[in-house]
Chain A
Amino acid sequence: MLDGLTWDLVALQLFTGLALGAVYVLLAVGLSLIFGMLTVVNFAHGAFYLVGAYVGYEVLTLGGSFWLSLAVVPAAVGLLGLAVERVLIRPLYGRSVDDPLLLTFGLGYVITELVRIAFGKSGLPFDTPDALQGAADIGIGFFPLYRLFVMAVTAAVLLALWVALERTRFGLIIRAGARDPVIVRVLGVDVATVWLAVFGIGTAIAGLAGLMAAPLQGVAPEMGSTILAEAFVVTVVGGMGSLAGAVAAGLVVGVVVSMTSLVAPEMAKVSIFALMAVVLLVRPQGFFGRAGLMSG
């Protein structure tokens, strides 16, 4: 079965896994950010991802470019996120984690159905931007330019997040608010606004992830629900609420899928869940998770 297995092939396979992981990282980081700060298990994350892809499609059809949609999509989906937090999620703070979970679960269905009504049930084409078409020689073989671009965008988003959280006053408030919202409020900080902003940022990143995925697979109404399960696996493996965990787990899941594909491709999808089972058995809180977050 594995005749012709060379080191170049293994290396390329590994790299493909990392590139695949980049999309997972982007999704899981948004999920983790929202859970870590707000303790909201956002089941509408896949729907925001879906909206991102369709907004990108609309920008293209209206004569805009892919580069324009790189700015428009996070802004539009982020705004949608702000509205959702302000109107639907805010009234549920202080209740058990189940309430926002069920709310976002339903919201995901509603958004998906609206997209279906507006754009039809069948998928729509989304071409790779001209400048990123084709493949580049990366030393171990040819690799699509666009996937390299996705890796770069993910790295840029992570860097920006890290700077914002670790090097700014805003970041300091967020980190403190996640630890102890009461004290932060006593210190005169408007925690509600901070949470609003965090939810907006999380959904904006989900929208960006959807846009990144569109040239890889086109756009279709079911793309949000398919990716949601995988995104949650990554978040759980990394540790709910941990950004470092989301990054590490995203890359690990990508590599596991890729290496499984090499030896037993039909098991690729199952391997994600097998990995989750193993991690949860050995380390129930995930790679970098804190124990007991869900019981809050």
Chain B
Amino acid sequence: MVDEAASDAVGRRAVLTAAAGALAFAATPFGVRSARAQERPIRIGFPTPLTGPYGAEAQNQVAAAQLAVAQFNEAGGLAGRQAELLVRDDKLNPGEAATRTLELIESEKVDFIVGGLSASVQLAVNNITRERKVLFNSISQSDVINEAKDFSRYTFHEALNPHMTAGAVGRYAFGRFGKRVVYLTADYAYGHEMVRGFQAVGDAMGVMTLADISHPIGTTDFSTLMPRIQALKPDILCLCNFGRDQQIAVKQAADFGLKRNIKIITPILVHTARVAGGPAAFEGVVGGTSYYWGLESTIPTAKSFNDAFRQRNGGRVPTDYGSMAYGGVRSVLAAVKAAGTADTERVVDALQALRYDFYKGPEYYRACDHQAVQSVFIITSKSKDMASPEDVFSVLSTEAPDELHLRSCAELGHA
């Protein structure tokens, strides 16, 4: 404690001296010009759940976000003005996320916020940023954030949303695997939004919902749900859950022999859940994703993104959620460059006008709700011929960016 106080005193003295010097310097005509180059960096606040069950995912996000910042700086920044990333642990908790975001805005004076890894956390962050008119680019799935009541001019959504993801997987799967569907749904906003997304496309295709079985989030044993699922004899078991819930559900469905005559699909097939679940359990599972590193064989920007990521991260590849962090930060910085300033109002205008292809093919933000219109990839888990531990999926199909796959602006309540 004593040491800290001493270094504090030194720090204070140094700052005071420097400030006095800077004042004297700025008073001269020469000082006025060079002060511009000394401008404070562009600061991006980045709340993400470093601790907790999504910690591995969050670390990949940080690495990807830092890559975007480094590339901006290496390219000369904004006329020499550099950017920096301020990472804060939101602990996957909306209250914690709100507090950290408030700190980032009030004490750290960040220019923008990018981040969030759960629907409720991003909505909490959005409440803070909307109130204070700070640009927030969300990188986690939510339908609500696009709706008029949560939306603001300062809210952007780089991630896919459940309606887009479930829609794409449903359009792919229902025609191929059958029309009798049982949903196994995590009992929170994400799960129910996903089911609604599937049913929206399913209704038009004559798909029958045999049951929508919801389970508490964080369930570790699904065995008691299996007899009923078996008895319903569906063609498709649709897992509307995430992370470890999904990993355990897939494993236990396989143990119960469900995969013999039932196809398992899921709106988001997550890289880390598949790695943790292992190839045997996940064999043949079909799902959607916003990004898979294997896209580099067909998409040039994916290749350059992966290469840059590998180079800075000891050969590791970016995950799906990591890539969204890259896209989220990079698009904001591209808008800064286009606007020629970090002024929020002008960056918002520039971001609205942006047409970009940073890692997964062409994207843009829809005018009414700032949802990133982008492609959705349908992937399946590999169980053999894997070239490396990260070679876990093969891409079955790509759904091209199309506003028709989003809920309409009127549906969302935008005038």
Interface residues of A (CB under 8 A from B): 1, 4, 6, 8-9, 12-13, 16-17, 19-20, 23, 120-128, 134-135, 141-144, 146-147, 216-218, 220, 222-223, 226-227, 257-258, 261-262, 265-266, 268-270
Q: Which of B225, B226, B230, B251 contacts A216 (CB 8 A)?
A: B251
Cβ of B14 under 8 Å from chain A: no
Interface residues of B in 41-91 (CB under 8 A from A): 51, 53, 55-57
List, in ascending order, chain B residues with CB within 8 A of A216's CB: 221, 223, 248, 251-252, 255
Whether B56 lies near A122 (C-beta < 8 A) is yes
Cβ of B398 under 8 Å from chain A: no
For residue B231, which residue of chain A has the nearest CB?
A9
| A105 → chain B closest CB, angstroms | 19
What is the interface size of chain B, counting residues whose CB is below 8 A from a CB of the partner?
39
Whether B220 lies near A217 (C-beta < 8 A) is yes
Whether B224 lies near A223 (C-beta < 8 A) is no
From known contacts A123-B244, A123-B276, A127-B278, infer whether A222 and B257 are also in contact, taking CB-CB under 8 Å: no
| A231 → chain B closest CB, angstroms | 12
For residue A4, which residue of chain B has the nearest CB?
B231
Whether A135 lies near B256 (C-beta < 8 A) is yes
0/1 per residue, B229-243, Cβ < 8 Å to A? 011100000000000
Whether B216 lies near A269 (C-beta < 8 A) is yes
Whether B227 lies near A268 (C-beta < 8 A) is no
For residue A136, which residue of chain B has the nearest CB?
B257
Whether A141 lies near B56 (C-beta < 8 A) is no
Whether A141 lies near B227 (C-beta < 8 A) is yes
For residue B277, which residue of chain A has the nearest CB?
A125
List, in ascending order, chain A residues with CB within 8 A of B225's CB: 261, 265
Interface residues of B in 280-331 (CB under 8 A from A): 280-281
User: What separation, in Å, do the CA atoms of A82 and B281 have in the docked complex?
Assistant: 37
Residue contacts A-B, CB under 8 angstroms, 20 given: A8-B231, A13-B227, A13-B228, A16-B227, A19-B223, A123-B277, A124-B276, A142-B256, A144-B256, A216-B248, A216-B252, A218-B248, A218-B251, A226-B218, A227-B220, A262-B227, A262-B228, A265-B215, A265-B224, A268-B216
List, in ascending order, chain A residues with CB within 8 A of B142's CB: none
List, in ascending order, chain B residues with CB within 8 A of A17's CB: 224
